[in-house]
Amino acid sequence: MLQVLRERRALLFLIAVVASLFVIMAVQVRQGAAAGSETFLLRLTSPLVRAASTVTGGVTGLWDRYVNLRHTRSRNAALEEKVTQLELEMQKLEEARLQNERLRALLDLKEGMALSSVAASVIANNYRGLSHTILVDRGSASGVKPNMAVVSAQGVIGRVWTVTGGISKIQLITDASAGTAVLVQRTRVEGILLGRGSPMCELEYVPTLEDVQQGDLLVTSGLDQIYPKGLPVGRVGEIGPSEGILKGISVIPRVEFERLEEVLILLTSDLSGNWHTLPQAAAPLPVGTKAERTGSALPER
């Protein structure tokens, strides 16, 4: 009998296990959730459950973070692209706003003038070159002719030098061969503004005794038959030592030539008066003086 039991040990063990399990299950079914065996085993395995949960949570968290990171990267790239686009858009809008301001100023100037004019855009700027010139996109087709005055809202720019059908070359007042008849607004002292091929100009033919002070505004006098009278040109900079009976005066132009983008070309040939008032008779330029260089009929230096 014992021999049989020893031989059938595994089978007996199985029967015992199966019977026990059935009893446990039956008790659970009868008692429901309050079954003691279930509670006991759950308590026994709870560290294992907690460990498994921690591992699962850790791996899931790691995965989630990885996925989120990937999403973050792609979102970041998309946002950066959008920011770049918006920056470009903003730059365009800012450019349009600035252009609008400039054109508005130019329009105000045009409307304030009693003279006909045409607006032009600067297509090349040679302000830092050997000759201080700019090219604008208006030519003879728009009625532009040589020696017409070119101005901006800031003041006098120069005169039309050469003209083709659709492009004109403008000689700036700072060009070494340019001259402009001006007067000191405060004291009405007249003089000739000469370009020096540098950012500064010189006011010449002003007697030593005349009242000219640093900061005085110079306006066109209209005597050169190119610029209408009263256009702002620049301010007196330094007043140097006298050259005999004449003063040596440097002038800072009002116009920022390096930043020119739009200009106004005055189309009228009748400049015998103040540009913003009724035309008045202007005295002819004295022949043989340096002022001749500023006149359209006079040779350039």
Chain positions contacting other proteins, by CB under 8 A: 9-10, 13-14, 17-18, 21-22, 24-26, 28-29, 35, 37-38, 41-42, 44-45, 48-49, 51-53, 55-57, 59-60, 63
Least Å distance between CB 74 and other proteins? 23
Q: Which is nearer to other proteins, 56 or 269 (CB)?
A: 56
Parallel, antiparallel or unpaired: strands 117-126 and 262-266: antiparallel
Least Å distance between CB 2 and other proteins? 18
Q: Which is nearer to other proteins, 17 or 88 (CB)?
A: 17
Least Å distance between CB 19 and other proteins? 10
Q: Which is nearer to other proteins, 32 or 244 (CB)?
A: 32
Least Å distance between CB 62 and other proteins? 10
Q: Which is nearer to other proteins, 17 or 93 (CB)?
A: 17
Least Å distance between CB 43 and other proteins? 9
Q: How far apart are CA 214 and CA 278, in angstroms?
A: 31
Least Å distance between CB 3 and other proteins? 17
Q: Which is nearer to other proteins, 61 or 240 (CB)?
A: 61
Q: Which is nearer to other proteins, 8 or 82 (CB)?
A: 8
The full 3-state SS of the chain, as one line of letters, equals CHHHHHHCHHHHHHHHHHHHHHHHHHHHHHHHHHCHHHHHHHHHHHHHHHHHHHHHHHHHHHHHHHHHHHHHHHHHHHHHHHHHHHHHHHHHHHHHHHHHHHHHHHHHHHHHCCCCEEEEEEEEEECCCCCCEEEECCCHHHCCCCCCEEECCCCEEEEEEEECCCCEEEEECCCCCCEEEEEECCCCCEEEEEECCCCCEEEECCECCCCCCCCCEEEECCCCCCCCECCEEEEEEEEEEEECCEEEEEEEECCCHHHCCEEEEECCCCCCEECCCCECCCCCCCCCCHHHHHCCCCCCC
Least Å distance between CB 25 and other proteins? 4
Q: How far apart are CA 228 and CA 273, in angstroms?
A: 6
CB 37 within 8 A of CB 25: no
Q: Which is nearer to other proteins, 45 or 242 (CB)?
A: 45
